[in-house]
Amino acid sequence: MASTEKEPAGALSGIRVGRVAAPLREQVLDGLRRAILDFDLKPGARLVERELMEQIGVSRTTIREVLRELAAEGLVVVIPQKGAVVHAPSPVEAQDLYAVRAALESLAVRRFIERASAADVDALRATVDEMEAVALGEGDIPALLRAKDRFYDVLLEGAASPTIQDILGGVQARVRLLRATSLSQPGRPVRVISEMRALVAAIAARDAGEATRLCVAHLDNASSTGLKALAADSAAS
Amino acid sequence: MASTEKEPAGALSGIRVGRVAAPLREQVLDGLRRAILDFDLKPGARLVERELMEQIGVSRTTIREVLRELAAEGLVVVIPQKGAVVHAPSPVEAQDLYAVRAALESLAVRRFIERASAADVDALRATVDEMEAVALGEGDIPALLRAKDRFYDVLLEGAASPTIQDILGGVQARVRLLRATSLSQPGRPVRVISEMRALVAAIAARDAGEATRLCVAHLDNASSTGLKALAADSAAS
DNA sequence: GTTGATTATTTTGTCCGACAATCGTATGGT
DNA sequence: ACCATACGATTGTCGGACAAAATAATCAAC
């Protein structure tokens, strides 16, 4: 999210100091973020300061600062006098987030087309192959989701825009639950992969218009699939 | 920014309690945010915890939590072991932010066209009139900027999407410096107003394609104007 | 038995003081 | 003028403290 690393990688790489001084707070932040994104902390779960303190082993000061950051990122929502809970987006909010994703990802795709090298395109194609391998294996949804994350990593890498990466990253994080739900629908993975292949093809052809169209269409499908599954779930319960 | 209010507005409206308890922290947050957005705290200015503590009259705990939120919002950047400074976007970053704005604002415009009532369109037109009045008066840039903010408030209100409002608000805040710089260029205000009038006309005609085009074009102009002015400034100094 | 009021417990919000680690700078020696 | 050291300022983190608010539990009354 807030990652700003630049490495010239000149003649003196390797003696690069691993970490310029990592505030403990950031480790806690990364840890909690990962826990939320991996669904170790499920949406709606309460985050009680004292519990986090004991389980993580840091003071309340640090915990509270981290919670404020997560709140500003939109991953948790803090209710005054009540505390923080893992954010659970409502259906309409999820729909909006998907619309924002579509706008931003198509922007990223256009940037990629403008700036990326042929090697970047190959790398992008490789991540789709990787996804296919995971999808054909078993129905390991989390692994598939991680593979898809990798696709976006490469895409944003090639787009060469930390700003877009930062903002889009935040949006994607907020709909991660829906993304997982959508991917877990029967038949969805194979369709996703064919959509991605088409997108990569358009990107390789440097066809910005077609790529934008495919990108938006893909997210449209993902959105409606996820929302339908969500509606079915809540109806079943 | 982090406004999440939902009101079913059923039979029991009106007895809604205004504020359930406002944590002191939020007042400080709003105050500091306003100070940054109004350039009372200029980009690059250091935010020393002890000073803020004394000037605002709250404890370091509260100050630090607020700084973490502002950091996550991107309004300040904290350098480990060095402290927080008001964020000063680099030219390339500003360019990216304008691209993101274009993507998001055109989305908001389309949403507005879909959902807004005729009264909303009138309200939008009224804000442009207001801007014109300010622009023709004197060269009060901050007032003009505030009037333009009001335009976006109405736009996002009509778009009826707190999510888009939230994310776009964050982006706009980060480029506020550039927006002010751009508006202060001679002749820019009148051009801005004619661009906005054209945009409102397209919106009133419910022409999504044209409105999108105009919106993107407007931001393109604003971006290049701002960047040019910035380059001239840094050359002069 | 359900409702209502009172009390206890938990949890947040805020403050204070403390101390090590680190950064920037002034100091002083050469 | 240059380098090393010492000093001061500032952040990072901890611990404890207490009021205010929310939640849960207990008991009284109808």
Amino acid B168 reads L
Separation in Å, CA of B96 to nearest CA in chain A: 6
pLDDT of A15 > 80? The answer is no
Angle between the N-to-C axes of helices A176-183 and A162-174, in degrees from 0 to 180, rounded to the nearest 10: 70
> What share of chain A has pLDDT > 70, as a percent?
89
Are B68 and A69 a contacting pair at CB < 8 A?
yes
Taking alpha carbons only, the member of B26, B33, B4 closest to residue A77 is B4
Q: How high is the mean pLDDT of chain A?
A: 90
**H or E stretch covering B232:** helix B208-236
Tokens, residue B178: 């550039």
What are the residues whose beta carbons fall under 8 Å from the beta carbon of B132, sequence distance 6 or more? Answer: B193
Closest chain B C-alpha to A225 CA, distance in angstroms:
20
What average pLDDT does range B121-131 have in this prediction?
A: 96
Instruction: Pick the closest to residue B176 from B204, B206, B142, B202 (CA basis).
Output: B142
Which stretch of A144-153, B19-28, B110-119 has the lowest confidence by average pLDDT? Answer: B19-28
Pairing of strands A83-86, A46-47: antiparallel
Other C-beta atoms lying within 10 Å of the C-beta of residue A129: 12
- CA A74 to C1' C15, in angstroms, rounded, equals 28
Chain B, residues 26-85, CB within 8 A of chain A, namely: 26, 61, 64-66, 68-74, 80-81
Query: A126 exposed, middle or buried (CB, 10 Å; 0-12, 13-18, 19+)?
Result: middle
A interface test, pick of B5, B62, B167 with most A CB neighbours within 10 Å: B167
> Tokens 């480790």 belong to which residue?
A27
**How many Å lie between the alpha carbon of B177 and the closest alpha carbon of chain A?**
16
Bases of chain D below 7 A from a protein C-beta are 10-17, 21-23
Q: List, for residues B132-174, the tens digit of each pLDDT value.
A: 999 987 778 999 999 999 999 999 999 999 999 999 999 999 9
Tell me if A101 sits within 8 A of B31, measured CB to CB: no
Asked if B80 lies within 8 A of A21 by C-beta distance, the reply is yes
Q: What tens digit of pLDDT does each residue of B61-109 get?
A: 999 999 999 999 999 999 999 999 999 999 999 999 999 999 999 999 9
Question: How many Å apart are B159 CA and C8 C1'?
Answer: 48
Identify the residue whose Cα has the smallest distance to the C1' of C22.
Answer: B81
- Tell me what pLDDT residue B234 has: 66
- A232: confidence class by pLDDT, cuts 50, 70, 90: confident
Report the distance from CA of residue B23 to the C1' of nucleotide D26 in Å, as an integer.
Answer: 31
CA atoms within 13 A on the CB side of A108: 27
CA–CA distance, A164 with B214 (Å, rounded to integer): 22
Contacts of A56 (CB under 8 A, 6+ apart): A28, A31, A63
Contacts of A235 (CB under 8 A, 6+ apart): none
Contact between A97 and B162 using a beta-carbon 8 Å cutoff: no
- pLDDT tens-digit profile of B34-59? 999 999 999 999 999 999 999 999 99
DSSP A187-210: THHHHHHHHHHHHHHHHHTT-HHH
Chain A residue numbers with beta carbons less than 8 Å from the beta carbon of B162 are 93, 96
**How high does pLDDT run on average in chain B?**
90
- Alpha helices (H) along A39-187: 49-52, 60-73, 91-115, 118-137, 141-159, 162-174, 176-183
- For B96, the closest of A65, A66, A161 (CB atoms) is A161
Q: Which domains does chain A have, with CATH numbers?
A: 9-86 (1.10.10.10), 91-236 (1.20.120.530)
What is the rounded distance in angstroms from the CA atom of residue A194 to the CA atom of residue B77? 41
CA distance B132 to chain A (A): 31
Interatomic separation, CA of residue A58 and C1' of nucleotide D19, rounded (Å): 24
Q: For residues A133 and A135, give the distance between their C-alpha atoms in angstroms, rounded to a whole number.
A: 6
